[in-house]
Amino acid sequence: MYFAVIGTHVRGKSASPAMHNASFKTLGINAVYIALDVPREELPCFLQLARLNLRGFNVTIPHKEEVVKYLDSVAADARAIGAVNTVLVERNLLVGYNTDASALYQLASSHMKGADVLIVGAGGAARAALFAAIKAEARAVYITNRTYERAEALAREFAEKFKREVKAVRGPVKADVVINATPVYDAVVADLSGASLYVDFAYIPTPRTKMVEEAQRLGIKVIDGVDLLVEQGAQAEKIWLGVEPDRTVMKRAVLEFLGI
> Which residues form the catalytic set?
64
- Is 150 annotated as belonging to a binding site? yes
- Is 11 annotated as belonging to a binding site? no
Cis peptide, bond prior to residue 205, ω within 30 of zero: yes
Distances in Å between the Cα of 161 and the Cα atoms of 79, 81, 91, 157 are: 11, 10, 32, 6
C-alpha to C-alpha distance for 184 and 234, rounded to whole angstroms: 24
Quote the least distance from Cβ 32 to its own copies, whole Å. 6
Name the residues that contact its own copies, by CB under 8 A: 2, 11, 32, 34, 36-39, 42, 44-46, 48-49, 52-53
Quote the least distance from Cβ 43 to its own copies, whole Å. 10
Cβ 142 vs Cβ 169: under 8 Å:
yes
Which string of b and e fits 159-182 if b means at least 16 CB within 10 Å?
Answer: beeeeeebebbeeebebbbbbbbb
Residue 11 or 139: the one with the smaller Cβ distance to its own copies is 11
Residue 10 or 80: the one with the smaller Cβ distance to its own copies is 10
- Is 196 annotated as belonging to a binding site? no
Residue 42 or 90: the one with the smaller Cβ distance to its own copies is 42
Distances in Å between the Cα of 190 and the Cα atoms of 150, 174, 210, 247 are: 17, 9, 11, 30
- Is 144 annotated as belonging to a binding site? no
Residue 53 or 73: the one with the smaller Cβ distance to its own copies is 53
Cis peptide, bond prior to residue 183, ω within 30 of zero: no
Quote the least distance from Cβ 17 to its own copies, whole Å. 8
Q: Which residues are annotated as a binding site?
A: 14-16, 60, 85, 100, 121-125, 145-150, 201, 203, 225
Q: Which residues are annotated as a binding site for shikimate?
A: 14-16, 60, 85, 100, 203
Q: Which residues are annotated as a binding site for NADP(+)?
A: 121-125, 145-150, 201, 225
